[in-house]
Amino acid sequence: MRAAALLLVLAALAHTLRYGLTEPGHALAFGLLVALGELARRGGAPGEREPAPLAAAGALAYALLGDSAGEPTGHGPLQVVAVVAAGQLVAAVEQLARGAGPDADRVARRVLTVGFAAVCFQPLYNSGQAVRWFGDGPRFALFLLGLLALTALCDALLAAVVARARALPYGTGGTPPPYELSSPTPPPYGPPSPPPYGTGKPPPYGPFLQDELRALAGIGSAVGASGVVMALGVAVAGLWALPVLCVPPLLTQVSFRRYAAVRTTYGQTIASLARATEIAGYTPPGHARRVAALATAVGRELGFTGAQLTVLEHAALMHDIGQLSLLDPVADGATARLPAAEQRRIALLGGAVVRRTGVDPQVAAVVEQQADPYREQLPAARIVRTVNAYDDLCGEGVGGPLGALEELRLGTGHDHQPQVVEALVRVLGRGGLTRVGAG
């Protein structure tokens, strides 16, 4: 995807340098709008779906710009790409000066998405075909909305490709691998970590695409609608409409930044609880992070998306919090070897602690069910229990990952759902079983 975006930008810049800018004033205005929108996202939380809604809306508006103050424009798709790329380049210089370079995947995605919208609209408009087919009234606005829907679908497809490529399988055992939030929501545990190790194929594409399509109802629809409104506003009032029409995307950006701040605080509470058992010596270092990362990968393998993944991950992080009630820590924190009644007591105490933190009640329910037979558990609880047992067994040295998986298979009659165990096998297999558990 990066290579395709780079080739498109080079072709656009070469075309613009050879033939010059059409309507330089419009190109400058929209280029500055993209650059200012990127600069305005300073201080936003990393991992936001669209950290620069003003820049995204401005770029889309230029791609869908037909008339300006009642007069037709003549810029083509390649000029749109060149102007958007130039605006992002200007912002990138300032970001690099602060030591915070741009996200190359997000930049590539924007270039390709805007290029798609421009290719769909500009040739039809410049040839006069769009006016002949749709006129310049409500039907033209509906035409723009249809193009917006296609562009949103294109962006969702590209975003899902990026998210899938980044979600490589995590291993367990030994020193913990780098941890990052696997669900496509703002990461609540600090800056994103480097991608995890593993050279196998990423998880299935479907769950990632479902996440992105669901997101279109939120920030995606707001950005798209703002872009269309900007294009229509400039068509009637000219470039003077831009300052007024920039207000809604800016307000959207402020709102999402506040939302991200709330999520950060929420995530810090979960992270602190997850580390409490490690600091107190009840569980091995990195155990909660390993279980959360691997459980999320298994959840994706089984089709979990969106809020389901969030609940699964948070429950995996806090599944051992009930061990703080024990007078003497369990060896290596491996509760799977305790009597069923003791496992049940620890799980219920853990759920009670979680409920007092204000975390989603579904997370507490998953924690409370850790000692139940899998047929009585929620789907997320089945995953957490199986992955936790796998990590515990790897730490006990039962023959490495293969030995641990064999024990899990022996427990599929009561403790572990067969489908969850097989999904775990597939996830570990993609990462390479020989590497799982390496310190």
CATH assignment at residue 427: 1.10.3210.10
Q: Are residues 416 and 293 in the same domain?
A: yes
Q: Are residues 236 and 121 in the same domain?
A: yes
Relative to beta strand 67-68, strand 71-72 is: antiparallel
Report yes or no on 239 lying in a domain.
Answer: yes
| Phi and psi torsions of 215, nearest 5° | -70, -20
pLDDT the model gives residue 198: 38
Q: Are residues 208 and 323 in the same domain?
A: no
Q: Are residues 213 and 314 in the same domain?
A: no
Report yes or no on 182 lying in a domain.
Answer: no
Q: Are residues 233 and 272 in the same domain?
A: no
Token pair of 345 as six digits = 């007591």
Residues of the chain with pLDDT under 50: 44-47, 169-200, 432-439
Token pair of 68 as six digits = 């300006």
Query: How many Å apart are CA 327 and CA 324, to the nearest integer?
Result: 8
Q: Are residues 302 and 213 in the same domain?
A: no
Place of tokens 């007069």: 71
Most distant CA atoms of the chain, gap in Å: 80
Neighbours of 37 (CB within 10 A): 25
Report yes or no on 179 lying in a domain.
Answer: no
pLDDT the model gives residue 398: 59
Of 193, 219, 245, which residue constitutes the final position of a domain? 245
Report yes or no on 194 lying in a domain.
Answer: no
Q: Are residues 96 and 226 in the same domain?
A: yes
pLDDT the model gives residue 175: 35
Contact indicator for 321, 277 with CB cutoff of 8 Å: yes
Q: Are residues 211 and 360 in the same domain?
A: no
Q: Are residues 272 and 402 in the same domain?
A: yes
Q: Are residues 121 and 36 in the same domain?
A: yes
Q: Are residues 144 and 24 in the same domain?
A: yes
Of 245, 274, 304, which residue constitutes the final position of a domain? 245
- The residue range of the domain holding 312 is 262-431
In angstroms, how far is CA 297 from the centroid of its own chain?
14
pLDDT the model gives residue 337: 65
Which residues have C-beta within 8 Å of that of residue 436, sequence separation ≥ 6?
A: 171, 172, 173, 394, 401, 428
Token pair of 182 as six digits = 């696997």
Report yes or no on 197 lying in a domain.
Answer: no
Report yes or no on 9 lying in a domain.
Answer: yes
Report yes or no on 180 lying in a domain.
Answer: no
Total number of domains in the chain: 2
The pTM (predicted TM-score) of the whole model is: 0.67
Q: From residue 336, give the alpha-carbon distance in Å to each of 261, 317, 322, 386.
A: 37, 17, 14, 10
Q: Are residues 351 and 290 in the same domain?
A: yes
Report yes or no on 186 lying in a domain.
Answer: no
